[in-house]
Structure 1
């Protein structure tokens, strides 16, 4: 048997300590109170009936109403990492049969680093009771309920009570004043339909496979599996959903305390509003081991990340830098370190990027790909970096032909240092981009275990580094490069214009995150930076050089120190106020789908280059705009230029880590996720297909 982990001992000790403290704090107030209603510390419990009179040979419902104080909670049948489910035992002197508790849909309740399953607010636990034939019919039926519970906030208080309820026997039933509460609770119960699925266990995970074809609008909600067994899974871990069409697989880290190999498991599949009971059995017929399933999925995502990395090389921010590095490669022999330095720079940079995301996630922050582009501070720094690169390409100051980007003494020439920092710079300038195939892979990376996440980021890095690395290590490929000559000077200066265009784009993004005054200040600072840098390259006077260096530093410092972080909070509202579209709102989207309308959802950001290309070549074309303006089509825009939790939650529904994301809905039944690179025909065909699907329903 495996040893318990240290933190697990601490969890158990914490629960025992809270339980003991709760007993003393509860004192005599929770000791077997007798009535139909009892008040205990931080909770009121009641025994109520749906009917005020009942008949023989009938089934009626009673319920235990738990009403904890605000910010306190009670528990589901499986309390999760800690806690205890309520216990109800009902007896009577007459002949009755008591059914099982009907549990409402629970929610996940985070408590420190733990996750509980339970209920916040008033909760009714219903039980069916059958009254059987009696030899001597009494005037009333007396029910005795023995209850125990645990109510928690930061500490936990146990409670007990004996409650009684007398119900008159009659020839006819009559509803009680609490009957409406029973009706509301029935709406909060899981569906009567029980799904069947398969599960498989590996050393570290459980994979649960479910056919979701009978679940309406499955793709539009986030679904979570709640196990009946408390020792089945790690309750605080992310649940990764994969699969095609209706067959979905949940990949869930296994609990450290699952010591057996259960042949059958029971679950609740819930989206918070709707839930299904799920019975799974060990997957024997398909003979797909969990390890093989995990490995197959992982290899697929690694391949997608690798291809996405290759495509990143031709993004407009990256291509000029890599082109200059390729053109400057010498035909001479290079050392082993020089050949592999660029690859090392790319690998280290991507791993640092993955590490930052992982640390932020562990601290509870919700981040996605491109999260740094939502920070105006980073936009300012990136603007100065691209301005510096453009000045270097224009030969404003003396640079060697091996220019690749950042810092004359870091990237010039053909040294290993130059190649390494070229790789670092290439990753920095590529970070705003999302290439095809990247989104799905990064979506999995940001919700998976650390080893999966880092594996995907490294696959992305290898794909990104491959073209230039091949040039470094292959003399035959170098032979295909154009011969050096005067044309390279013209070519280098031509590459400065995409850099300046990138600066203009970043300044525009900055406007969306701040305001016109801040944008004007940034433009002035960039111009001052260029003038002081030019003067620095021409000056030979030591005093004047010191003054110019201070000017360069001041140009960078001014927009940074005068930046107001609160300016960024309302920027996206302005971006969403344009005509011909509806700002993204989940409630509005649900209403449009319920009305059986066609909805085109565009999740975008000002800093997303792929998004802007799609808007230019596809979404702004008149044929597409005509489709959006049709009365039965709604164009919904989500702007993720700044942090927006609602948009991040929407992206997670489709396992995406960033934008762009394009989804077409045909009412509530049909969902079509479009590719990341759009053409007018792709958009028009998707809208026409959605209309056709509505007509066929």
Structure 2
């Protein structure tokens, strides 16, 4: 959806924009000492346009006010009248048409000089929408006078404020409670509500917090004696505990002629039911996006779990999918460099005692699974704290990417023979590739997990997405299964003598092979430097490159400590330590530097294809118009994404399909993280990229189609086969 920022010029206390007239109004003529009085931001909207409530719904933006007040004056929060419901299937929004009146209570200080001017100034921001959305802002002012006594009501604005106060939610008539049952949030309203609700034809609960419920799903009203229950579908961020605040809209005999009554309620979630909320919720709303309610279709022959399927998929099926995903992950390009290191170790292990080989295999497995669980614990903890993140979240941090570059560079230098760590350095052991220390095997498992996060394998995406909607113990079990699948092939080799006998005999050739295998590590480090270039400023990239030089200096200096003595050895050791500390401090100091847009967002052209940045409202508009759309959720650090983009999307046949069939190409760049994209991924039961979603794949279709993560030309051709060629229209 096209947007534009409108610059507004004040004319008195009224600002005229193409679609909105904005002004501040006061309920009183003058202000007395310690007086509490109401002011209002009034937006008069053109016919067919609307603006938004505190929770705008599936898309939109709440109105904001920033005040500049005389000394001693204080402004309260916005008091929000009950909103109207706007439906642009499948989206539901909440806001106001024709006129929006936002009340704010002001508090005057005790020291006021009668007759002195009182100037209230505010910077207002709002979003106004019709078939396009336009963010607007205005500098407004309201000039009053101080008086010796409390100011009188302004008769010119009395009717305006009376209507606005009448539209505010009323106090709750009695206690209420909430519970979660079978993927639904159920509100139970006690007998006190009966006299107030009367013969209500319908009730609708709208929470203040986004993501609690599905706004487009019907809310089912039932009466059981004096008790009233209202059931609704859970949203992508269901409540887990505490109080659920919102308003209850009432349509019925007791409702006003023009607008439904509203009650502010705060039901407390039943603790015994709260633990099942996330496991039973379909992460089903394409938040602030345009997903059709219901189950997204999968491409033929491709196993795929949507958010709705996740809610009903048996737990052990999810564990099995995670195990399969971990196995397939061994074949992905991001993991192969580390597995090549382990392959060298296995060649040498072929001549060792079977018991020793098995123990090292178990150490490798322990490192893989333990690091996978540690990573998942951090992920789950951050999400529980309200962060909108998913699989691969750590690679959205330029600092973490820089440290990974250093680590891969050190591993490569170690394989190249620039230095060898002694047994006292935790994690690397006597030698990373063929040392006897078990910590080396454990470290290789940890490194395998870290470099696996940029990749997403078949089966794995659905399992990880489901894990994030499960209770913590089940989520950890799913991630543990993913780690077991990742380490299983090499661990099985260590337990199978007949497989070890198939390996070549060790010899002098191993040193050459080991040095050759350093180059995949250098390539991985170079790729992460490229990722960093998409994430950070030129200063941040320069800091990382300078850090690589310092890391190399530290490795060289450390080797000199092995040959030197006395003062020379001390100087080499001090150089190594200082260089390593400086390398770490450089990106830490620049971690707050401006972040560049990801590569996907930074460029709209790719050859003869034009990609537009991800915009949920634009997708909704295109869907409503019946236009075919391909949404590519991607990230610069996602190797699977890059392979698809550099191969399949670069194919002339695929480009011709997009061009000839009028497909709008949308790029959802998750390189630096984006809560909107995280919500969209959750709506399809995913926790990471890539994700490819096709809308209006055939004329009149309403269901989005999810393509597999590993694309082929044939898959793309089949996805758009039902569309007519616009060249012949």
Q: Tell whether the structures are fold-level matches, with TM greater than 0.5.
A: yes
Corresponding residue for residue 549 of structure 1: 576
- Give the Cα separation in 2 of the matches to 1:621 and 1:361: 38
Contact 1:76 1:106 in 2 (8 A): no
- Give the Cα separation in 2 of the matches to 1:567 and 1:503: 23
Contact 1:87 1:149 in 2 (8 A): no
Equivalent position SS for 2:722 = helix
Q: CA deviation at 1:609?
A: 1.1
Match of 1:345 among 337, 362, 367: 367
Corresponding residue for residue 621 of structure 2: 591
Q: CA deviation at 1:339?
A: 4.4
Match of 1:114 among 226, 242, 246: 242
Corresponding residue for residue 332 of structure 1: 352
- Give the Cα separation in 1 of the matches to 2:544 and 2:682: 34
Corresponding residue for residue 16 of structure 2: none
1:127 aligns with 2:198: no
Distance 1:247 1:662, change over 3 A: closer
Corresponding residue for residue 519 of structure 1: 541
1:100 aligns with 2:200: yes
Corresponding residue for residue 87 of structure 1: 193
Corresponding residue for residue 390 of structure 1: 412
Q: CA deviation at 1:500?
A: 1.2
Corresponding residue for residue 22 of structure 1: none
Corresponding residue for residue 567 of structure 1: 594
Distance 1:74 1:628, change over 3 A: farther
Contact 2:419 2:556 in 1 (8 A): yes
- Give the Cα separation in 2 of the matches to 1:543 and 1:454: 46
| More displaced 10-residue stretch of structure 1: 447-456 or 419-428 | 419-428
Gaps of 5+ in 2: 1-78, 83-162, 180-186, 213-238, 296-302
Contact 1:74 1:118 in 2 (8 A): no
1:416 aligns with 2:438: yes
Q: CA deviation at 1:219?
A: 9.1
Distance 1:207 1:425, change over 3 A: closer
| More displaced 10-residue stretch of structure 1: 302-311 or 625-634 | 625-634
Q: CA deviation at 1:129?
A: 8.8
Gaps of 5+ in 1: 1-41, 46-64, 92-97, 131-142, 156-200, 225-242, 252-292
Corresponding residue for residue 396 of structure 2: 374
- Which fold has the larger relative contact order, with Cα–Cα distance below 8 Å and residues 6 or more apart in sequence? 2
Contact 1:411 1:421 in 2 (8 A): no
Q: What does the per-residue CA deviation read over 1:333-382, in whole Å, with 9 as the maximum and x for residues that have no partner?
A: 22464442222222211111221122222222222000000011100110
Q: CA deviation at 1:469?
A: 0.8
Distance 1:108 1:409, change over 3 A: farther
Contact 1:405 1:425 in 2 (8 A): no
- Give the Cα separation in 1 of the matches to 2:307 and 2:385: 33
Corresponding residue for residue 671 of structure 1: 704
Match of 1:629 among 659, 674, 691: 659
Q: What does the per-residue CA deviation read over 1:79-119, in whole Å, with 9 as the maximum and x for residues that have no partner?
A: 5369957836489xxxxxx7434223533647994242642
- Give the Cα separation in 2 of the matches to 1:90 and 1:204: 32
Distance 1:73 1:600, change over 3 A: farther
Contact 2:427 2:440 in 1 (8 A): no
1:309 aligns with 2:336: no
Equivalent position SS for 2:345 = helix
Q: CA deviation at 1:504?
A: 1.2
Q: CA deviation at 1:538?
A: 3.7
The Cα RMSD (Å) is 4.6
- Give the Cα separation in 1 of the matches to 2:675 and 2:293: 14
Q: CA deviation at 1:521?
A: 2.5
Contact 2:427 2:442 in 1 (8 A): no
Corresponding residue for residue 4 of structure 1: none
Q: What does the per-residue CA deviation read over 1:50-84, in whole Å, with 9 as the maximum and x for residues that have no partner?
A: xxxxxxxxxxxxxxx99689899869997536995
- Give the Cα separation in 1 of the matches to 2:624 and 2:544: 46
Corresponding residue for residue 220 of structure 1: 291
| More displaced 10-residue stretch of structure 1: 598-607 or 530-539 | 530-539
TM-score normalized by the length of structure 1: 0.62
Q: CA deviation at 1:669?
A: 1.1
Task: Within 5 Å, give how 1:91-490 maps onto structure 2.
Answer: 99-104=199-204, 106-107=206-207, 109=209, 113-116=241-244, 118-119=246-247, 125-128=250-253, 151=264, 220-221=291-292, 251=311, 297-319=314-336, 320-333=340-353, 334-335=355-356, 337-398=359-420, 406=428, 408=430, 412-490=434-512
1:656 aligns with 2:686: yes
Corresponding residue for residue 37 of structure 1: none
Equivalent position SS for 1:682 = helix
Corresponding residue for residue 257 of structure 1: none
The structure that is helix-richer by fraction is 1
